[in-house]
Amino acid sequence: MKKPTEIVKSVYHEHIAKFGEPSRSYRYENTPSNESIVYPSHVDVMVWDPEEDFLMTTLCTIGMSAQPMNGVDYRVELHMSIAEEMDEELVGELTVFLANLSLYPFMYSTFFDWWHTLPNVGNIPGYSEPRSLLLHPAFVKDGWDLMCTAGTHVKILNVIPITNDEQTLSKEKGVEALINYLFENEISYFDRR
């Protein structure tokens, strides 16, 4: 296994500084074998369980930022927060989902960015309706969604499961229409549905 890059080490340390030590982490090293595609050598998915004063399970990739994506000069990591305590099996399935999602931009020679929607991503563990995703920046003004480290920018993309109809709304009318729809219908970013 290759050693973590300086960027990945810095991203890891910034997460620890923000969230404290994770409850646990999962390492995924078996990237697809295709000599024409360069993947991160491994992706860790760190998990922070809910606490009394913060009732969220938070999952974060660490390692996606080791490789540049095609067409952009920044790198990314994925975050996903769910407003409940979850059993170990579901957490494990979600870490696999995020690790696989982290390979997508490399596999298809593309990039992820804030406000992108991804249609038809298949089964999202623990969700019955959503089959698409919204990649959201920070949820509050001056929230954490960007790290500047080791000479590069690393964006944090918050993964929000949405339905295929909601993704179509975003595609046809813009992401602002999607955000308004979610707000007007009191659909939480953090509740499983």
Does some domain include residue 106?
yes
From first to last of the 193 residues of the chain, give the pLDDT tens digit: 577 789 999 999 999 999 999 999 999 987 777 767 788 889 999 999 998 888 899 999 999 999 999 999 999 999 999 999 999 999 999 999 999 999 999 999 999 999 999 999 999 999 999 999 999 999 999 999 999 988 899 999 999 999 999 999 999 999 999 999 999 999 999 999 9
Contact 17, 25 (CB under 8 A): no
Host H or E run for residue 12: helix 6-19
DSSP letters for 70-126 = TT-S-EEEEEEEESS---HHHHHHHHHHHHHHHHHHHHTT----TT-EE------TT
DSSP 65: G
Identify the domain containing residue 83 by its residue range.
Answer: 6-184
Does some domain include residue 97?
yes
Does some domain include residue 175?
yes
d(CA 32, CA 43): 13
Does some domain include residue 134?
yes
Half-sphere exposure of 95 (CA within 13 A, CB side): 23
Structurally, how many domains does the chain consist of?
1
Does some domain include residue 156?
yes
Does some domain include residue 129?
yes
Does some domain include residue 193?
no
The pTM for the full model equals 0.94
Does some domain include residue 1?
no
